[in-house]
Amino acid sequence: MDIPATALAIRRGDRLALARGLTQVENDTPAGRELLSLLFAEGGQAHLIGVTGAPGTGKSSLVNALAAFYRRTRQVKVGVVAVDPTSPFTGGALLGDRVRMRDLATDPGVFVRSMAARGALGGLAHTTAAVVQLMDAAGYEVILIETVGAGQSEVDIVRLAHTTLVIEAPGLGDDIQAIKAGILEIADILVVNKADQPGVENTERALMSMLEMEHHGFEGDPTHWIPPVLRSIASRNEGIEALAEAIQRHQIFLKNSGEWQRREAARLKGELHVLVQELLVQAWQEALPENAYQQTLEALLSRQTSPHQAAQDLLRYTHR
């Protein structure tokens, strides 16, 4: 791969070049890293919107509807990253997503990338961050990142986003299972999708009372964001405009409050931190003489040395 040429092509909007570049970035190859470095200065422009929630709540449908709305009303280029950490083997949900996103895929202003976890090296959040960075550099002004809200790795993924939508559906909200998993804390906007189904009011009420507890005393404070609770029927394109407005309000809030810069800084700092750790471990592994690890491990297992001493022994090899 001619990396400078690929970087230029990506900046020009060449979709094939972007697709190839993303594959390199996803696989964390030297070419992928170089590409990201070459294009890094171009990035930092996109509004990153995380979309998470329990399985089947309508995340893909909403992403689809939002992307179509942005295309129709603002003519911005829209990137979509669908991350599926829960089903690395079946790929069932991914296939479903592809089918539903098919209508978007024919629009040259929309770029859809599906990522399976398949035990991603360096963590899925890290890979997703890199993929998003490349799309950003390629000039996608809005990037929607869909992930199934189930645990820490999804929380890490949505931390990438400037604005996080948490999607609920009637019925799920009643036992508050889906909400409990720390996911409410990361929500900037709460969406009760499938508002055509019974139980919407209950779900809304449950969310509102949780929000009231969480944000008590901050009502009317312009420096404090209280997540709005919105209804939608994604499958009928209802509630999409109001959702897009809320997203825009949140973006304005972030920029006016300085939170936008804070989130950017936290994200880049986190990335630097992870990379320093990764590179240190890699350099250490390369410097490690053959058998050194095995010998230290044996000494540890026979209790001739303590874990702390063992770690100190192994770290002697970092100095190249």
Residue ranges that bind ligand GTP, judged by CB under 6 A: 55-61, 93, 96-97, 100, 148, 193-194, 196-197, 233-235
The first and second tokens of residue 124, run together, are 């899925």
Q: Does 60 bind Mg ion (CB under 5 A)?
A: yes
Shortest CB 109 distance to ligand GTP, Å:
21
Residues 6+ apart with CB under 8 A from 8: none
Q: Does 154 bind Mg ion (CB under 5 A)?
A: no
193 binds, among ligand GTP, Mg ion, none (CB under 5 to 8 A by kind): ligand GTP
Q: Does 26 bind Mg ion (CB under 5 A)?
A: no
Answer whether 58's CB lies under 8 Å from 169's CB: yes
Write down the H helix ranges in the chain. Answer: 3-12, 15-26, 30-39, 59-74, 92-100, 102-105, 124-137, 152-158, 177-180, 200-214, 240-257, 259-287, 292-301, 307-315
Candidate list 52, 53, 97, 133; residue touching Mg ion; CB under 5 A: 97
Partnered with residue 115 across adjacent β-strands are 83
**AA identity, residue 52:** T
Cβ closest to ligand GTP, residue 17 vs residue 93: 93
Q: Based on the number of CB atoms within 10 Å of its own CB, is 192 exposed (0-12), middle (13-18) or buried (19 or more)? A: buried
Cβ closest to ligand GTP, residue 32 vs residue 173: 173
58 binds, among Mg ion, ligand GTP, none (CB under 5 to 8 A by kind): ligand GTP
Shortest CB 261 distance to Mg ion, Å:
31
If we measure between CA atoms, which residue out of 98, 55, 49, 47 comes closest to residue 193?
A: 55
Cβ closest to ligand GTP, residue 56 vs residue 228: 56
Cβ closest to Mg ion, residue 97 vs residue 136: 97
Mask for 30-59, x = binds Mg ion (CB under 5 A): -----------------------------x
Instruction: From residue 134, give the alpha-carbon distance in Å to each of 7, 34, 306.
Output: 10, 11, 45
- Interface positions with Mg ion (CB under 5 A): 59-60, 97
